[in-house]
């Protein structure tokens, strides 16, 4: 029987079988941020453990850094953990990109950008969106702080082998439809728990034609479907993306690595526990209406009626979501006014995201009194965007051009909406309180967020593309 | 770590689907909060009113559920963010076992690191448990027996559950993962030595 991409990478990292499907898995990369990574290093010290391979680790205080340009360390949350986190990394010999470094950014953006994330590598971080790195063909997933201590002190983790799922995106996306819409659509169809216990491989011609950044967006949302791991097989697009990056292999190592990466794809007869086929041509731009990523509809859709929910629990959940979000059943999503626009987060803050959003913003103005933020995912993305003049496009229109940080995705740095305010956001979670207590979040793609910025309300971006 | 063998305790019903870890420990209280204080912020959006007073309608603010050591939760419990604070918060409330139809995958792994037992049972069984706990709170004493892998509800037959052999023996002994792995350092070193040959590009400076 053939092997899947996941199986190949998994098998290459098994240090020991522990019985009952669990293994001791070797980890090639570990990333630390200022919340879970900070806690992990503190626990590690309390327990008298040491970091065995600091050279395989990378840290960045991406969560508590403010996105205020030139004042990223000024916030209270950063003050509480940022400097100590940097100090902890230093003490343990871990390379950490501080906010002033040109290498700073959201870990899930800078790992790939530096060529530290590699196809076929295993990678963990104390962060559920670590699955993002699967866009390059890495086997990457989020863990807790205690597990992180285990990883730092042994370079391994105990993990039970997940089941395998493949989602095939067939066909080509229509105009205005982005990778974000494709994955939100699937989450809407399958629900937030469909992927629990699975490692998901994304395949099909729409994935094969997609850039690495789009693949990362898709993998990023795996966890919103319950899957800790999402992966795309590396191909020429991946190899081109990595070539010449700071930490990508060089010389003979590069050639050997490429030869290895070319073997990392699912065999024709690989078995999956579940397969899902998606007709991409049917997907329209998506927007969430509720407080879970599965609460999503096409932009020309309406807020669903709780009475149509499949079961009483789902009905209750929908009622609670509507109460929080302040929308009515049957209401059109188009035209819902927003107070905030957030373009950023590890889901959608890379250069292609900013280019696409700028394309919509160009020559238009941010509507009325709304606040619109463009927050690049890394200092390097910011510099690249500035070199292309995208910053001017945003600021000319009335956007604030911010510095790299997780920022409004989770508000750990103190940047939040006011209670009751409504945002359209390119991030990944529309949970209750995610962007601040009482804040109402609508998830969408960068172009949809840009369209709302210039119209003042949730808008079908396709109308601005005509 | 405290071993988990058999626990007989009050079980609190919180049977809602998709309760995420942002609800269990909201970000606004999280940064810099020590692990030992996490119980104080557990379920804050539901447990407290806007003025900081307790919300009497929330189950964990009611007697006898304040004393609960078992939580009966809905499908996909503790999904979302990987924050281990969710486990520490439950622990802070005195919870030692959670029974649900399913868990967020990262949360389940985090539970084992603190000696909390996540028990997966079918939806109808868990919903039935929740109804029992609601209907007769003061007699809602459930037994979660890891030695024999079964839950004994106040009424009805014991229900068997599955537990990974590895996780089970670790919990029974009160061992976390690190203790187990420390016995395998030579195997890890041997793996790395061979892997450096196979994939030198993974190891900087090799
Ligand atoms: S951008 Fe948001 S989802 Fe991504 S790592 Fe930061 S807080 Fe987590």
Q: Of the residues A410, A414, A429, A433, which should be mutated to test ligand 1's pocket, given the most ligand atoms within 8 Å of the CB?
A: A410
Q: Which residue on chain B is closest to A320 by alpha carbon?
A: B16
* Mean pLDDT over the full length of chain A: 97
Mean pLDDT of B27-34: 92
Q: Would you state the pLDDT for residue B161?
A: 98
Asked whether A292 and A183 are in contact (CB, 8 A), the reply is no
Centroid of ligand 1 to alpha carbon of A250 (angstroms): 31
Q: Which of A108, A231, A234 is nearest to A165 (CA)?
A: A231
Contacts of residue A24 in chain B, CB cutoff 8 Å? 181, 184, 187-188
Rounded to an integer, what distance in angstroms lies between the CA atom of residue A292 and that of residue B85?
A: 21
Nearest to A128 among B17, B106, B184 (CB): B106
- Residue B78: how many CA atoms within 13 Å on its side-chain side? 32
Dihedral, CA of residue A38, residue A42, residue A45 and residue A51, to nearest 10: -20
Residue B17: is its pLDDT beyond 90? yes
Give the DSSP letter of residue B28. Answer: G
What is the SS3 string spanning chain A? CECCHHHHHHHCCEEEEEECCEEEEECCEEEEECCHHHHHHHHHHHCCCCCCCHHHEEEECCCCCCCCCCCCCCCHHHHHHHHHHHHHHHHCCCEECCCCCCCCECHHHHHHHHCCCCCCCEEEECCHHHHHHHHHCCEEEECCHHHHHHHHHHCEEEEECCEEEEEEEECCCCCCCCHHHHHHHHHHHHCCCCCCCEEEEEECHHHHCCCHHHHHHHHHHHHHHCCCEEECCCCHHHHHHHCCCCCCCCHHHHHHHHHHHCCCCCCCCECCCEEEEEEHHHCCCEEECCCCCCCEEECCCECCCHHHCCCHHHHHHHHHHHHHHCCCCCCECCCCECCEEEECCCCCCCHHHHHHHHHHHCCCCCCCCCEEEECCCEHHHHHHHHHCCHHHHHHHHCCEECCCCCHHHCCCCCCCCCCCCEEEECCCCCCCCCCCCCCEEEECCHHHHHHHHHHCECCCHHHHCC
Query: How many angstroms separate the Cα of B58 from the Cα of each of A151, A313, A317, A414, B44?
Result: 38, 17, 16, 27, 10
Mark yes or no for CB contact B80/A223 under 8 Å.
yes
Contacts of residue B110 in chain A, CB cutoff 8 Å? 143-144, 146-147
Q: Which of A77, B113, A403 is nearest to A85 (CA)?
A: A77
Centroid of ligand 1 to alpha carbon of A345 (angstroms): 6
Q: Would you state the pLDDT for residue B206?
A: 58
Asked whether A354 and A376 are in contact (CB, 8 A), the reply is yes
Q: Would you state the pLDDT for residue A151?
A: 98
Contacts of residue A254 in chain B, CB cutoff 8 Å? 201
Contacts of residue A144 in chain B, CB cutoff 8 Å? 82-84, 87, 106, 109-110, 113
Cα angle for residues A12, A16, A20 (degrees, 5° grid): 105
- Local mean pLDDT, 10-residue blocks, chain A (466 residues): 96 95 96 97 96 98 97 96 98 98 98 98 98 98 97 97 98 98 98 96 98 98 98 98 97 98 98 98 98 97 94 89 97 98 98 98 96 98 98 98 97 96 98 96 98 98 94
Beta-strand pair A422-425/A400-401: unpaired
Rounded to an integer, what distance in angstroms lies between the CA atom of residue A343 and that of residue A41?
A: 31
Here the tokens at position A134 are 């699967």
Which residue minimizes the CA distance to atom 6 of ligand 1?
A: A406
* Mean pLDDT over the full length of chain B: 95
pTM of this structure: 0.96
Q: Would you state the pLDDT for residue A295?
A: 97
Q: Would you state the pLDDT for residue A311?
A: 85
Contacts of residue A226 in chain B, CB cutoff 8 Å? 76, 79, 104-105
Q: Which residue on chain B is closest to A414 by alpha carbon?
A: B28
Beta-strand pair A198-203/A229-231: parallel
Centroid of ligand 1 to alpha carbon of B170 (angstroms): 32
Q: Of the residues A409, A425, A426, A427, which should be mutated to test ligand 1's pocket, given the most ligand atoms within 8 Å of the CB?
A: A409
| Cβ within 8 Å of residue A386, ≥6 positions away | none
Mark yes or no for CB contact A36/B82 under 8 Å.
yes
Centroid of ligand 1 to alpha carbon of B139 (angstroms): 43
Mark yes or no for CB contact B181/A160 under 8 Å.
no
Smallest CA–CA separation between B200 and chain A, in Å?
7
Q: Would you state the pLDDT for residue B139?
A: 85
- Residue A134: how many CA atoms within 13 Å on its side-chain side? 34
- Whether ipTM tops 0.90, in short, is yes
pLDDT, tens digit (0-9, with 9 covering 90-100), for A187-223: 999 999 999 999 999 999 999 999 999 999 999 999 9
Mean pLDDT of B77-104: 97
pLDDT, tens digit (0-9, with 9 covering 90-100), for B179-206: 889 889 999 999 999 999 999 999 987 5
Q: Which residues pair with A332 in a beta bridge?
A: A302
Mean pLDDT of B123-127: 97
Angle between helices B165-173 and B105-113 (to 10 degrees): 30
Mark yes or no for CB contact A433/B22 under 8 Å.
yes
Q: Would you state the pLDDT for residue B180?
A: 82
Centroid of ligand 1 to alpha carbon of A143 (angstroms): 14
Find the farthest-apart pair of alpha carbons in chain B and give their distance in angstroms, rounded.
65
Contacts of residue B27 in chain A, CB cutoff 8 Å? 410-412, 433-434
Which uninterrupted H or E stretch holds B12? strand B6-14
Q: Would an 8 Å CB–CB cutoff place A154 in contact with chain B?
A: yes
Please compute Rg for chain B using Cα positions.
Answer: 19
Mark yes or no for CB contact A77/B32 under 8 Å.
yes
List pocket residues of ligand 1, CB cut-off 6 Å. Answer: A 62-63, 106, 108, 127, 129, 345-346, 406, 409-410, 427-428
Centroid of ligand 1 to alpha carbon of A67 (angstroms): 13
Q: Would you state the pLDDT for residue A117?
A: 98
């Amino acid at each position: 029987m053939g092997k899947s991409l996941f199986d190949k990478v998994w098998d290459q990292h098994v240090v020991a079988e522990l019985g009952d499907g669990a293994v001791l898995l070797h980890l090639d990369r570990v990333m630390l941020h200022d919340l879970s990574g900070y806690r992990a290093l503190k626990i590690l010290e309390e327990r008298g453990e040491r970091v065995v391979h600091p050279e395989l680790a990378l840290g960045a205080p991406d969560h508590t850094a403010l996105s205020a340009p030139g004042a990223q360390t000024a916030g209270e949350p950063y003050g509480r953990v940022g400097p100590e986190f940097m100090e902890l990394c230093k003490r343990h010999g871990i390379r950490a990109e501080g906010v002033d470094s040109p290498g700073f950014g959201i870990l899930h953006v800078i790992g790939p950008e530096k060529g530290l994330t590699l196809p076929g590598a295993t990678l963990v971080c104390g962060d559920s969106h670590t699955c993002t790195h699967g866009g390059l063909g890495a086997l990457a997933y989020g863990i807790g702080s205690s597990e992180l201590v285990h990883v730092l002190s042994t370079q391994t983790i105990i993990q039970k082998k997940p089941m395998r799922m493949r989602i095939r995106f067939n066909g080509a996306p229509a105009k205005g439809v982005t990778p974000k819409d494709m994955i939100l659509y699937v989450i809407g169809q399958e629900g937030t728990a469909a992927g629990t216990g699975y490692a998901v491989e994304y395949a099909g011609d729409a994935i094969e034609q997609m850039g690495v950044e789009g693949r990362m967006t898709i993998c990023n949302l795996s966890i919103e479907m319950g899957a800790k791991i999402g992966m795309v097989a590396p191909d020429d697009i991946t190899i081109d993306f990595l070539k010449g990056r700071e930490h990508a292999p060089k010389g003979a190592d590069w050639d050997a690595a490429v030869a290895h990466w070319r073997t990392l794809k699912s065999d024709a007869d690989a078995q999956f526990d579940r397969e899902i086929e998606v007709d991409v041509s049917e997907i329209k731009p998506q927007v969430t209406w509720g407080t879970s990523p599965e609460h999503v509809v096409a932009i020309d859709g309406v807020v669903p009626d709780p009475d149509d929910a499949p079961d009483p629990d789902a009905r209750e959940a929908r009622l609670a979501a509507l109460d929080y979000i302040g929308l009515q059943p049957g209401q059109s999503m188009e035209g819902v006014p927003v107070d905030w626009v957030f373009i950023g987060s590890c889901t959608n803050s890379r250069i292609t995201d900013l280019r696409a959003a700028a394309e919509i913003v160009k020559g238009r103005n941010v509507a009325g009194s709304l606040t619109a933020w463009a927050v690049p995912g890394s200092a390097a993305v910011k510099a690249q965007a500035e070199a292309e003049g995208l910053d001017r496009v945003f600021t000319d229109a009335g956007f604030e051009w911010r510095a790299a940080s997780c920022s409004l995705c989770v508000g750990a740095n103190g940047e939040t909406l006011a209670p009751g305010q409504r945002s359209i956001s390119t991030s990944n979670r529309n949970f209750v309180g995610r962007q601040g207590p009482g804040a109402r979040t609508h998830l969408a793609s960068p172009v949809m967020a840009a369209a709302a910025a210039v119209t003042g309300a949730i808008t079908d971006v396709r109308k601005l593309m005509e | 770590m405290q071993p988990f063998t058999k626990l007989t305790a009050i079980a609190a019903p919180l049977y809602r689907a998709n309760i995420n870890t942002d609800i269990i420990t909201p970000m606004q209280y999280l940064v810099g909060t020590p692990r030992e204080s996490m119980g104080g912020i557990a379920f804050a959006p539901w447990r407290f009113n806007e003025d900081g007073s307790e919300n009497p309608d929330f189950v964990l603010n009611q007697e006898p559920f304040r004393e609960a050591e078992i939580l009966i939760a809905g499908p996909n419990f503790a999904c979302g963010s990987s924050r281990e604070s969710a486990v520490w918060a439950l622990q802070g409330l005195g919870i030692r076992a959670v029974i649900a139809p399913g868990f967020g995958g990262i949360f389940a792994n985090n539970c084992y690191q603190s000696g909390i037992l996540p028990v997966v049972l079918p939806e109808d069984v868990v919903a039935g448990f929740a109804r029992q706990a609601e209907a007769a709170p003061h007699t809602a004493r459930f037994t979660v027996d890891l030695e024999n892998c079964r839950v004994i509800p106040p009424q009805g037959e014991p229900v068997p559950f599955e537990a990974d052999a590895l996780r089970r023996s670790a919990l029974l002994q009160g061992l976390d993962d690190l203790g187990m792995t420390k016995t395998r350092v030579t195997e890890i070193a041997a793996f790395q030595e061979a892997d450096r040959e196979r994939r030198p590009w993974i190891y900087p400076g090799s």
